[in-house]
Amino acid sequence: MAFDGIVIRSVVHELSEKLIGGRVDKIYQPLAKELIIRIRTRGENHQLFLSADPTHPRIHLTQQKFINPDIPPMFCMLLRKHLENSHIKKISQWNLERIITLEFETTNEIGDPVTYWLIIEIMGRHSNIIFVNPEKKTIIDSIYHVNRQVNSYRELLPGKDYFTPPSQDKLNMLATPVESIDQILDSWKQQESLNNTVEWDKFFLLNFQGVSPLIAKELWARTNKSPTNIISVYKQFVTELKEHNYKPCIVSQDKKFKHFSALDVSNSQPNSDIQFYSSINACIENFYTYRSHQIFVQREAQDLLQKVVSLNKRATTKLKKLKKSLQEADEAEHYKLLGELLTANLYNTKRGLTNIKVVNYYDPEQALIEIPLDPAKSPNENAQSYFKKYNKQKNSVPKINEQIELTNKEIAYFESILQQLDNAELPDVTEIRQELIEEGYVINKEQAAKKKKKAHKNTLEPLKFRSSTGLDIWVGRNNKQNDLLTTHIASKNETWLHTKDIPGSHVVIRHQDYDEQTLIEAASIAAFYSKARGSSQVPVDYTLVRNVKKPSGSKPGYVIYEQQKTLYVTPDEQFIKSLHTNV
């Protein structure tokens, strides 16, 4: 993500169009470093959200509802005193830096006009919201106080002079003539001619204000990675900014929001999904709403994820040891051979020897073979020791094979859980947690006692889709739903689908008669809701539900099936989303 100077320019432009002349109706401070300013303009109410939170500092319009404290913080009370019923006179950006000034016009106690500035500095952990007297250029207060011990360059305290943060000595491209760019280009080319390392892909990032790594990467891609095209790309880019020709968008990878931008960045993001918006405010709000939700879900699922990863690692280690034991068991016949040869040569052996060489009567070449001996044992005891090893290894093979089969099933189960957690929403996490409790993998004090009562009451519905020809397709959200859908909901003559040998959801076409297009779309959905969602030509098996069986005592979600056919599909996320009916 990049709340850079270019994004801020587009936000300022859009806010100016919507809010200039608006009246401040109410001010709230829901969290320590966040403000909500409710503004009435042109018969509409708007909520302006300002955040100096170091993790996600930002400013944009929002439609979200916030829970406000019963007692407003002092900074909020101060703003209410001076700014409520004021009008927004101007919204501006300092050069192309990440500093926005909201200018308010109101009257004081005796009716004289007064102007105030509310400045938001979006600078990571140094972000702040500062209330300023523009006439005296002094700070009235700030949402976060900064003293000399924290920042020796400037203090952000009541009564102190306000001045902007130190400049990075970068150029404002809106005020820089092309001739200056030519001079910079010449100096870079000169460095290159001296065999010095020149990072041309960072040309825009290192020389211009407001350019983030995302924008720098996009501009370099527009030059076709050729320095000779920098001037033409620069001119085009400046024109876009001056004419406010923005194309707000969100960049997604593997169904997850990665970046947002005020400009089209498709040249530098060829393998990403890009969703465009008509409003930069809507774009930013959607991005942060998703990210906040994603972070919350990840936090809720984190303990489960760590637990399942640990269990899967343990099961994988166990499987390696079992395979090693099986390999050793395969040597049982060798122990039998040593025992028999030693028994045949007891007359040549005596206590105290560490080894003996005897003729291998079973070898056509009649070669000598060396038999290790325990010097503390008699010849007969050494022979019996080898026979005991033979019997032990021989008898262990069926048990080891049984354990290998169970461990393989357990690993498959853990991988299916990991795949489901990767795509889970908050209600899904709750169901997965309950499933792991019931399977004995997770201990939960309260839920363990109530699990029987709530097992069916709180069960979510499967995901529901409708094919482009109007037929219903249902998808299990987790292993418990997979079992419920396949063994209880679906009828015997409906069609069941699942990725071939890949963890994923159970999918059912809820009609006995369907067309080829519905089958392909159902297979694409099965591929998308699997571990292979980012792959192409994913194999998907399909068969009638009557051919799918759940073995007694098997893990949730585990089934066996027969009489299947296989399709190969490449899932398309946007198309699959368009088929949703209960999202």
pLDDT for the residue numbered 264: 94
Whether 40 contacts 2, CB under 8 Å: no
* C-alpha atoms less than 13 angstroms from C-alpha of 185 in its C-beta half-sphere: 13
For residue 350, the tally of other CB atoms under 10 A from its CB is 12
Percentage of the chain exceeding pLDDT 90: 60
138 φ, ψ (degrees, to nearest 5): -115, 155
Tell me how far CA of residue 438 lies from CA of 415, 451, 460, 484, 555, in angstroms.
18, 8, 17, 15, 11
Instruction: Give me the pLDDT at residue 453, please.
Output: 47
User: What residues does each domain of the chain span?
Assistant: 5-142, 173-278, 463-578
pLDDT higher at 225 or 461: 225
Question: Helix, strand, or coil here: 348?
Answer: helix
List pLDDT tens digits, range 79-104: 999 999 999 999 999 999 999 999 99
- Looking at the domain 5-142, which fold is it? ibrinogen binding protein from staphylococcus aureus fold (2.30.310)
Mean pLDDT of 507-531: 93
- The per-residue pLDDT for 74 is 96
**305 Cβ contact list (under 8 Å, min separation 6):** 418, 421
* 8 A C-beta contact, residue 233 and residue 222: yes
pLDDT classification of 1: cutoffs 50, 70, 90: low
Predicted pLDDT of residue 317: 92
Counting residues of the chain whose pLDDT is more than 70, the rounded percentage is 96
Burial 269-295 (b: 16+ CB within 10 A, else e): beeebeeebebbbbbbbbbbeebeeee
Strand-pair partners of 352 = none
Predicted pLDDT of residue 231 = 94
Q: Return the beta strands (E) in 487-579 as ranges.
A: 495-499, 507-509, 538-544, 548-549, 560-561, 565-569
Q: Per-residue pLDDT averaged across 186-194, rounded?
A: 90
Average pLDDT over residues 351-377: 89
pLDDT in tens, 210-227: 999 999 999 999 999 999
Q: For 447-458, how does the pLDDT look when each residue is reduced to its tens digit (9 = 90+)?
A: 444 544 444 444
* CA distance readout (Å), 266 to 147, 215, 248, 280: 43, 11, 12, 17
pLDDT digits (tens, 9 = 90+) for 568-578: 999 988 788 88
Quick one: pLDDT at residue 422? 75
Tell the burial category of 505 from Cβ atoms under 10 Å away from its Cβ (0-12, 13-18, 19+).
buried
Which secondary structure element, helix H or strand E, spans residue 407, and what is its range?
A: helix 379-422
> Maximum Cα–Cα distance for the chain, whole Å?
124
**Please, which residues have CB within 8 angstroms of residue 382's CB and are 6 or more apart in sequence?**
342, 349, 373, 374
What are the φ and ψ backbone dihedral angles of 493, each rounded to 5 degrees?
-100, 10
DSSP codes of every residue in 281-311: HHHHHHHHHHHHHHHHHHHHHHHHHHHHHHH
